[in-house]
Amino acid sequence: MAKAKQFGCSALALTLISLSGCQLFQSQTTLIVPPTVTNDQAQVVAIIRDQMDMYLSYEGREYFLNQMLVALESDSRNRFKGKDPETYAWWKIHVQPNELHQAEVVRPMEEGIEVYQGLEFMDVPYRSKSTLHLRSKPSSDGEELSSVSKGEVFNVVAKVSDLPWYLVEKRGVIKGYLHQDYARSNVGERDLLSTPPNPLLASAKVADDNFEYRYELQGSYTCRVLSYELSKNGEFTTGALRACRKKRKVWYIDAPQA
């Protein structure tokens, strides 16, 4: 996965995050510092929080983080701006086009499940609307392998591309397919900083060696590079990150592999 780059230049001496190829400029002086690689997603989150502490009120942070999500979801605009109603700090947000990444992961799986290669990786908890059967393939005529009870929470590993079916995981083992009409997301809208990375992609080749059946899943996930600037009273700080999508309005900051 893409690795974020760490810069040590800022108008407020804050550590900033940028991606390879980005250069940060402070005030009227051109300052280019050689980047170093960071592989700690929590560090990226901490730096952004520090930057918000210096410029934004509590209400302003909510507006700023929400506009990040709006920008990431937008297909028609790539530049956004806003103003904190209390501190009067301004922010600017710029997003690059969507990047489609491919991944192969190995997971323990119940016997009899047909593996479809066109998957869109998610990692989102869902809740069943009623008692339902999990099937061997993404079709109503698939073999009934097991079931989920009404109200039961399970993890959706992926959606089958171009089909309204989810691949369901329970307690770390893939159990079968479920039609999307019979489940609802158990996760509300989250800001970018509070959504954990997808563990399936962070440990792509790790699987339970004690489980008899393990299969390779091939699929895709969407990421975007987002850059931002916070400014107030002639001072400013900037940064950039790569965000990846789990579902609509649920994005996380990419955690590069070590």
pLDDT digits (tens, 9 = 90+) for 100-125: 999 998 889 999 999 888 899 999 99
Q: Look at residue 9 and tell me whether its pLDDT is greater than 90.
A: no
pTM: 0.79
Which run of H or E residues covers position 80?
A: strand 79-83
What lies within 8 Å, CB to CB, of 188 at 6+ separation is none
Nearest to 183 by CA among 166, 203, 160, 200: 166
In angstroms, the CA 62 to CA 84 distance is 10
Q: Are 254 and 245 in contact (CB under 8 A)?
A: no
- Could you read off the pLDDT of 153-204 as tens digits, one per residue? 999 999 999 999 999 999 989 999 999 999 999 987 789 999 999 988 875 4
The distance from CA 148 to its chain's CA centroid, rounded to whole angstroms, is 26
The percentage of residues in the chain with a pLDDT greater than 90, rounded to a whole number, is 68
Q: Are 224 and 96 in contact (CB under 8 A)?
A: yes
What lies within 8 Å, CB to CB, of 59 at 6+ separation is 84, 85, 86
Token duo for residue 241: 């990150």
Coil vs helix vs strand at 3: coil
Which residue segments constitute the domains of the chain, with CATH numbers given?
Answer: 4-99+221-253 (no CATH), 101-220 (2.30.30.40)
In angstroms, the CA 149 to CA 132 distance is 7
Q: What is the mean pLDDT of the chain?
A: 82
Other Cβ atoms less than 10 A from the Cβ of 241: the count is 22
